[in-house]
């Protein structure tokens, strides 16, 4: 009988793993998209596949970004991200300032100074505006330490998905940033400029972050730090609730959410983010139960 060659053994093992033990084994992509029956549906895809993103966002590049406005105000006060057709993920700090049936949520925005957004001959769909039906703040939120700074906003009605509006994917299984599959992490948001900016960021280890922010804040479980990759001063005004995004297998995942920045800090000082993988179960259960 002929001996089985090495490559054939590898192929056989892959087949056995994928079919023989289906209750416990999942390939990463399948797990990310199917472990939740309410999250990661129609999520994370755009026409832009390159991992190096320009400083200024392109039309329909971050179609999950949402902006919150006070009544009769023309400048947003916070960000959020669409995670289902009717749920927006944001911070508890932002949610505390939202008034049910009054605060306006805008999705599908790009250029704040134009009525219809176009690049060349390509034009986006009109923005969609929604009211807030319900605010759900994490039960463990502490407004002094910013611990559990996470909340969910339920829209008064579902949004219509398109190339301009779609949910972002969430990491149902945590993957490590910095490996060959996801080298670049970006914080996308509107600042004082008319189009969204895409800041190239990098993680800062928690112990290092504690030294850099000093006595100004005590970092807790569920918080992580990131700063400008080039240690530049970046503008984050009104950016709370915006996404720290990473490309993974041609989909964009939100791995963290901007929580707070240290006022009057030096260039390169880290920003504090909510570590999304630590809250995925809370997010899933909140959507499922409401």
Q: How confident is the model at residue 264 (pLDDT cuts 50, 70, 90)?
A: low
Which pLDDT does position 14 carry in this prediction? 34
The three-point CA angle 191-150-208 to 5° equals 75
State mean pLDDT over 213-227.
83
Residue 116 Rama label (left phi>0; alpha psi -120 to 50; beta): beta
Lowest mean pLDDT among 2-11, 34-43, 164-173, 204-213: 2-11
167 pLDDT exceeds 50?
A: yes
Q: What is the pLDDT of residue 179?
A: 52
User: What is the DSSP code string of 197-230?
Assistant: EEEEEEEE-HHHHHHHHGGG----TTEEEEEETT
Question: Do the beta carbons of residue 83 and residue 168 sit within 8 Å?
Answer: yes
pLDDT tens profile 249-262: 889 999 999 998 76
Number of residues written out for the chain? 290
Instruction: Give the predicted TM-score (pTM) of the model.
Output: 0.86
Which distant-in-sequence residues (6+ apart) come within 8 Å of 164 by Cβ? 60, 63, 108, 110, 117, 124, 125, 127
Cα Rg for the chain, rounded, in angstroms? 20
pLDDT at 265 > cutoff 70: no
Distances (CA, A) of 116 to 111, 128, 137, 224: 8, 12, 34, 37
- Split at pLDDT 50, 70, 90, the class of 234 is confident
The Cβ of residue 278 has, within 10 Å, a number of other Cβ atoms equal to 16
| Residue 203 predicted with pLDDT over 50 | yes
Confirm if 244 and 186 have CB atoms less than 8 A apart: yes
Classify 65-167+281-289 by CATH class: mainly beta
What confidence tens digit (pLDDT) does each residue in 20-74 have?
343 444 567 888 999 999 999 999 999 887 778 998 999 999 999 999 999 888 8
DSSP assignment letter at 147? B
| Lowest mean pLDDT segment, chosen from 20-24, 119-123, 164-168, 192-196 | 20-24
Nearest to 241 by CA among 32, 73, 96, 71: 96
Q: Which residues of 25-40 are buried (b: 16+ CB within 10 A; e: fewer)?
A: ebeeeeebbeebeebb
Asked which of 26-30, 91-95, 131-135 is least confident by mean pLDDT, the reply is 26-30
């Amino acid at each position: 009988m002929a001996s089985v060659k090495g490559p054939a053994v590898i192929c056989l093992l892959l087949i056995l793993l994928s079919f023989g033990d289906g209750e416990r084994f999942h390939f990463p992509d399948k797990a990310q998209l199917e472990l939740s029956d309410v999250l990661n549906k129609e999520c994370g895809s755009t026409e832009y596949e390159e991992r190096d993103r320009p400083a200024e966002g392109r039309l329909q590049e971050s179609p999950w970004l949402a902006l919150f406005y006070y009544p009769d105000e023309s400048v947003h006060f916070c960000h959020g991200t669409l995670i289902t057709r009717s749920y927006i993920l944001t911070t508890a700090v932002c949610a505390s300032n939202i008034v049910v049936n009054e605060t306006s949520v805008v999705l599908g925005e790009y250029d704040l100074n134009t009525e219809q957004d176009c690049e060349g001959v390509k034009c986006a769909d009109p923005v969609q505006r929604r009211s807030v039906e319900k605010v759900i703040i994490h039960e463990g939120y502490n407004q002094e330490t910013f611990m559990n700074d996470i909340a969910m906003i339920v829209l008064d009605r579902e949004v219509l998905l398109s190339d301009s509006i779609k949910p972002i994917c969430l990491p149902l299984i945590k993957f490590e940033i910095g490996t060959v599959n996801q080298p670049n992490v970006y914080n996308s948001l509107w600042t004082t400029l008319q189009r969204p900016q895409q800041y190239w960021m990098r993680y800062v280890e928690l112990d290092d972050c504690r030294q850099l922010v000093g006595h100004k804040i005590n970092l807790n479980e569920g918080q992580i730090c990131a700063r400008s990759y080039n240690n530049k001063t970046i503008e984050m005004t009104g950016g709370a609730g915006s996404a720290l995004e990473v490309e993974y297998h041609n989909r964009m995942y939100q791995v963290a959410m901007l929580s707070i920045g240290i006022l009057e800090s030096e260039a390169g000082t880290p920003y504090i983010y909510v570590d999304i993988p630590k809250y995925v179960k809370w997010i899933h259960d909140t959507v499922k139960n409401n």
